[in-house]
Structure 1
């Protein structure tokens, strides 16, 4: 766990005051900083506005990325906030950007308030409340996707203006590509045969990052720990490495990452909650993507993306094949953060240090494939889950 000292928080507040004062043309004073945590060594602080020449909200959220980490992370996130600021209020996925400074890696955002986390809702004991929550989650994803279709050129223009070259980087796409390339060797080590159809589906999942029929904006990490429910609805709180990809990657990511948060009560309604999440998402996007109205086609595409995410989360716990692979594959440090070769860290909702979570993801994938009428994926997921169970838990 990263320890944030009082002096570091004070430095963050001073940096935000400087950015806001420059923007306002008059001194802005902040007080009562509250550490909200962050991803990796990122610092996130809530502060109260005292001197307020811009008539800003009474509280703001300040986010500062470490100066010695990959600058592309900051530029990606800044471009994502700038792009999202231009969306209609009802389609905006999260907080608004108030001010920024690329040199000091500072973002000043509107405060979404306290609200309730999606994690706590899924961990509760009210299945009806959980169903309403995941439906709201799916609708929010769908509204964001529908509002951003066709906006990729605008997003890339913002990104290129701020930092040339950042548009070429998607660290999850890179990691997924290496994981898929490594799949045959890893399967052999696990004693599992990789069917040709599954290999093809894994490759198709990778293609959804750069291609796909349903491209839209994604904050990138849309897992439940990055979702807040407040008076304005569902809010996505983390835009690090945001960009455009096939929207089915987002809905599949939500399905994969929500399972570990379910209480025993809600876990008993897992299939119903998944249906509620997907149906709510489809209700918002079927008008622009009519092909998703076909249950079989929609289920197959989501299953392909889900297969990819489940395999990627698995490879982060498997040993690398050799020293060259160690240098390329995203590695996991003791704090549980995915570490890129450039040194950038992010605690993705997809990542887990618990082998039971990964085994459960394969079990859930197999069950979803059975429901979707896909026996090849169902059998493969069950076999791999059993192999991981033997390897890690017996």
Structure 2
């Protein structure tokens, strides 16, 4: 683990090399990084070359270096590949206009030091706190802000995947690595959904053909360039800060993906996080109205409420199978769980097949996701959603036997 003193010294050198002068960093505040990562907020001494007065240092834990021949190619571990993805994501978002920029500015980085230096996003409330507010009107206001922020980000980046790929190729050339290596280290969403389907089948839980069609559509959308925008993917409540506008943090899993993934993720209550409830029906309506208002001019489908509901249902079903698969792998639905998921061409036949081998809190989190999908399906007069209702009710009964009950809001009807 890097010490605070060592990290401050390394960051000072990195800022000096990037901006000039002799910046001094003081008053370090530990912001609590994910896993063993170190995240510090520091004050910056006055510097004519650097306008920021506070900055955030993010540093991944160091690893033991293996001995290798001088002419051997440099190998990057999973954390370093994730860091390169995050660098590219920040470089891309830094090119967006300020009013639609989703996160902090990337000021400097050093892959060898496993370090990023970012502008300070401030001290706004995170979405975990927002979703626990007793005042329903405050929550609805924050949910609308989230919908607008996601919509603006999706609209501003829609159809711009080529720019992102150019930045990725430049980073890979810089470190003499194949771009495919970085891409292969990313999340394979379609494979996660497929493994989730096989897991449910292996536990003799009936999946209606209509539900399978929705799941296959979610898988197929992952390969479609016409539905992609920049998305953080790791949309957990503690990665979302609410100021005058919403700020997204942590882009380790950011890329160009199906825009419906972010939207469905919010609706089902952030399935990577087990601390917050799903949105109420009223909050869901506020959120979707705000999002569609921002995205409609570049994605005309958003103006068709029935079509949006169909797309979101496919993605919600996809999230259900993703979540079940991740829990089956033994992972808490928390930040960075996906990094430890093992992908395979075929589901591991030697793995335990009992879907219900999970802790009560895991079952409760999964029940929240399933309940949100069930409520979403019941809101629409659509015969294709009826099998979804039956499927989610079967899953809810199975999860209830494990002590899994959906998290509820203090003021909402669920």
State the TM-score, normalizing by the size of structure 2. Answer: 0.81
Aligned residues: 363
Match of 1:157 among 135, 142, 166: 166
- Deviation track 1:243-275 (CA, whole Å, cap 9, x = no partner) reads 101111111111123596557xxx7x7100011
2:45 corresponds to which residue? 50
8 Å CA contact 2:268–2:368 kept in 1: the answer is: no
- In structure 1, runs of 5+ residues without a counterpart are 321-330, 344-351
- The 1:170–1:130 alpha-carbon spacing in structure 2 relative to 1, beyond 3 Å, is farther
2:243 is aligned with 1:248: no
8 Å CA contact 2:236–2:335 kept in 1: the answer is: no
Which of the pair is proportionally richer in helix?
1
2:381 is aligned with 1:368: no
Q: How far is 1:333 from its partner?
A: 7.4
8 Å CA contact 1:83–1:155 kept in 2: the answer is: yes
Match of 2:296 among 286, 291, 297: 286
Please identify, of 72-81 and 204-213, the stretch whose mean Cα deviation from structure 2 is larger: 204-213
8 Å CA contact 2:193–2:319 kept in 1: the answer is: no
Please identify, of 42-51 and 148-157, the stretch whose mean Cα deviation from structure 2 is larger: 42-51
- In structure 2, runs of 5+ residues without a counterpart are 64-76, 173-177, 343-359, 406-414
Q: How far is 1:212 from its partner?
A: 5.5
Q: How far is 1:315 from its partner?
A: 2.0
Task: Give the SS at the match of 1:37.
Answer: coil
8 Å CA contact 2:81–2:185 kept in 1: the answer is: no
| Residues 165-314 of structure 1: pairs in structure 2 closer than 5 A | 165=179, 166=181, 168-169=183-184, 171-174=186-189, 176-189=190-203, 191-211=204-224, 213-231=226-244, 233-258=245-270, 270-314=280-324
Q: How far is 1:127 from its partner?
A: 0.4
8 Å CA contact 2:267–2:372 kept in 1: the answer is: no
CA RMSD, aligned part only? Answer: 2.6
8 Å CA contact 1:184–1:194 kept in 2: the answer is: no
State the TM-score, normalizing by the size of structure 1. Answer: 0.85
- The 1:385–1:131 alpha-carbon spacing in structure 2 relative to 1, beyond 3 Å, is same
Task: Give the SS at the match of 1:48.
Answer: strand
Distance 2:192 2:104 in 1: 33
Match of 1:82 among 77, 83, 91: 91
